Amino acid sequence: MPLTVVVGGFFGDEGKGKIVSYLALKDKIDIAVRTGSVNAGHTVVWNNVTYRLRLIPSAFVYENARLLIAAGANVNPKILLEEIEMTKTHGRVGIDHQASIIEEHHIEEDRSDQYLSKNIGTTGQGVGPAIADRVRRKAKLAKDIPELGKYLTDVALEVNEAVDNGKKVILEGTQATFLSLYHGTYPYVTGRDTTASAICSEVGVGPKKVDEVLVVFKAYVTRVGGGPLPNELTLEEIEKRGWIEKGTVTGRIRRVAPFNIEYAKRAIMLNSATQIAITKIDALFPECRGMKQFEELPQEAKKYVEWIEEELKTPVTLIGTGAEIEDIIDLRKDKCKHG
């Protein structure tokens, strides 16, 4: 997979962190780039340790991967430096000179603004106000922060050169399609476009260089904060189905609905998906937990996957069967060009 974009298909928390970390280890990728900001928490469970990453690319688990943060990303320097420490990735992190900076006053504004905190239900991390300052051309950039000095780099140049030299690069999107400022359920969205094209734009790589767009769906839909969620389940029903989840960043209980095929179709279109990953299939069919071969799946689970492929006219290449990175069925060899 030369250049792969990984994007969420619903409202975030589909399990992009797990998918990206799996690809990094399996494909021995050369570069991973994180977009977005600290509002997004990507969970990676590796060797029984749970990492909740808010800026470091989930590919950090592969020790030779270069870990970059895009020019379009919004960096909270304190959180980034803590994560570099936690993941011991000092020697391989690079931050684009032009990534913008979240300051304390952005966080205060996000939390004290009633409209943002109550109506929209933001994560309170200052991301929206920081982006607004960037639009006003008042934001500080990474190059203005001495503590980030030794990590500064030209991410667009690194990525384009790597792709031209046949290296393997993953662009890790954050949030998801329907939290997009342009294509989501406005105004209940995040402060930026989150679709595949926007991920490329944040990094500085053009659409012609993209080989694969992998859209990640969870076996059910979750959302945190306000906004529509068709067929939303009651708390009682969520508990009964064992689909209870808490937000990685905010700890809020996530709202839940069953898999939504209409949303999925639109996500495939908006991102020009070439592949699909389905995570947490074990939440629908508990017998699947930990399975690694498609043939092992119960008949019902196979039918479910085939139904999704038929409806979405796109191959399901990865199926998540548990929380650990290795709990996955990988069908890329049979089903995709760059497998």
Binds 53, which of ligand IMP, Mg ion, none (CB < 5 to 8 A, cut-off by type)? none
Chain residue at closest Cβ approach to ligand IMP? 225
Distances (CA, A) of 278 to 18, 264, 318, 319, 321: 11, 11, 6, 5, 9
Rounded (to 5) percent helix, strand, coil in the chain: 40, 20, 40
Alpha helices in the chain (DSSP H): 16-27, 77-87, 104-112, 114, 127-135, 155-164, 196-203, 235-241, 261-271, 299-312, 332-335
Decide whether 120 or 318 has the Cβ nearer to ligand IMP.
120
The two three-digit tokens of residue 7, written as one number: 């994007």
Contacting residues toward ligand IMP, per CB under 6 A: 11-13, 39-41, 120-123, 125, 127-128, 174-175, 179, 188, 190-191, 224-225
13 is catalytic: yes
Annotated active-site residue in 30, 42, 96, 330 = 42
Which part of the chain contacts Mg ion (CB under 5 A), choosing from 37-45, 71-79, 145-153, 267-275?
Answer: 37-45
> Rounded distance, CA 67 to CA 8, Å?
20
154 is catalytic: no
Decide whether 192 or 332 has the Cβ nearer to ligand IMP.
192
The two three-digit tokens of residue 178, written as one number: 């329907």
Decide whether 41 or 320 has the Cβ nearer to Mg ion.
41
Query: Per-residue string for binding with Mg ion, 41-60, x by CB under 5 A?
Result: x-------------------
Decide whether 158 or 172 has the Cβ nearer to Mg ion.
172
| Site size for Mg ion (CB under 5 A) | 3
**Residues contacting 182, CB < 8 A, separation 6+:** 193, 195
Q: Which of residues 241-260 bind Mg ion (CB under 5 A)?
A: 248
Decide whether 246 or 303 has the Cβ nearer to Mg ion.
246
> Rounded distance, CA 211 to CA 314, Å?
15
Residue 13 as a binder of Mg ion (CB under 5 A): the answer is yes
Binds 184, which of Mg ion, ligand IMP, none (CB < 5 to 8 A, cut-off by type)? none
Which residues are annotated as catalytic?
A: 13, 42
Binding residues vs Mg ion (CB under 5 A): 13, 41, 248
